[in-house]
Amino acid sequence: MTYRNVFLEIGKSPAEIEQRVNDTFNEIFYGADRFFETTEDGSMGYLVDTGNNDTRTEGISYGMMMCVQMNKKKEFDQLWKWAMTNMYLEDGENKGYFAWSVDQSGRKNADGPAPDGEEFFAMALIFASHRWGDGEGIYNYGLKAKELLRVCLHHEEMYGGHNMWNEDGLIKFVPGLEFTDPSYHLPHFYDLFAKNCFDEDKELWKKCAAASREYLKKACHPVTGLSPEYSYYNGKPYPDHEHFGGRHDWFYSDAYRTIANIGLDYEWADKNTDFGKWCKNTANNLQMFFESLPIDKRRGIYEIDGTVLEGTALHPVGLAATIAQASLAADGEIALKAVEEFWNTPLRSGERRYFDNCLYLFAMLALSGNYRIW
């Protein structure tokens, strides 16, 4: 498979692109503003959510994906050992899942999972198995991925709890609640899960991939391309303002990831399908929406129909990164302009740098042709 290097298209040389990707990884993991830390004995590592002073399955699994894409096996194994040692739930109603929040001492802050962590764990483990081969115990990456994927689909029958995907093949926000998060929908992952799971689950993962692609068409606004943070299964924004820290029916932090995922799906999957055409159209619509805004309104808060609300983005660098990653699917001058703007945007510093800079590195990998299927 040939991976598009969009940075070449804006005139950057192969050498400077490679240097920029490596510098970005090194800053996050080892630089002055790093948020990768290791235990005293060096056997485990974790990415710190610098805005909340904890470690999350989101961040640990993101870090594992970064490491397998960058061929950083040592750091990958440190992160995976942290997850299995401190996050894995050995018993209780969520047995077999991972606690979504753990403090830096390794103490669990929660006894439940966030499904985006599990799906990134599984995908990163599959890639690690293919890239480096399987080891023993927790480092038998391929087996651990298969076991996790089975638990996600069959938790109710295995342990009496809640599955992470509903009967229609749609991922839940959390296993016990019946709504979803558009940015959790990764059909390009589910295509690969179907090829790397236990045989009896192949058709279920194919069903999940098809269901998520149909869902995303409903969740993204047909004119702006914007999606909400949370939604009902029919794509309608979820209006609960009393729980989970306030509003999530708008285009805000979590939602930035949706268009980046759509861009990666377009890169990895068949571009000539109806969904591939939809991806291109949606990416173009989203980039045109931001291009149409006054410059001082381009890092704001929005209803998914494009209504500009009061306030500014909590993660403006992450927003720039995901708008640029949409260029994997988008075309034309606006797409390349978004990539140029992202190239000229530095990594974020300060307490909120974790989320922004994770999205930043993923966009660097994707737009340089280095976010690959292994």
Q: Which two tokens stand for residue 99?
A: 């606690």
Q: What is the H or E stretch that residue 310 is in?
A: strand 308-312
The pTM of the full predicted model, rounded to 2 decimals, is 0.98
Catalytic residue among 27, 77, 181, 254: 254
Query: Could you give the percent of the chain with pLDDT greater than 90?
Result: 97
Fold that domain 1-34+218-374 belongs to in CATH = Glycosyltransferase (1.50.10)
Token digits for 101?
């929040």
Does 63 score more than 90 pLDDT?
yes
Q: Are strands 300-302 and 45-47 parallel, antiparallel or unpaired?
A: unpaired
What is the band of 239 on the pLDDT scale with cuts at 50, 70, 90?
confident
What the block records as the tokens of 359 is 């999205």
Q: Structure tokens of 20?
A: 């920029």
Segment 313-347, tens digit of pLDDT: 999 999 999 999 999 999 989 999 999 999 999 99
pLDDT category at 93 given cuts 50, 70, 90 is very high
Q: What is the pLDDT of residues 191-230, one digit of tens each?
A: 999 999 999 999 999 999 999 999 999 999 999 999 999 9
58 is catalytic: yes
Question: What does the DSSP 8-state code read for residue 305?
Answer: T
Determine whether 41 is an active site residue. no
Over the chain, what is the mean pLDDT?
Answer: 97
Residue among 27, 49, 58, 201 flagged as catalytic: 58
User: Domain ranges in the chain?
Assistant: 1-34+218-374
The per-residue pLDDT for 211 is 98
Residue 17 has pLDDT above 90, yes or no: yes
Residue 194's closest CA among 261, 122, 264?
122
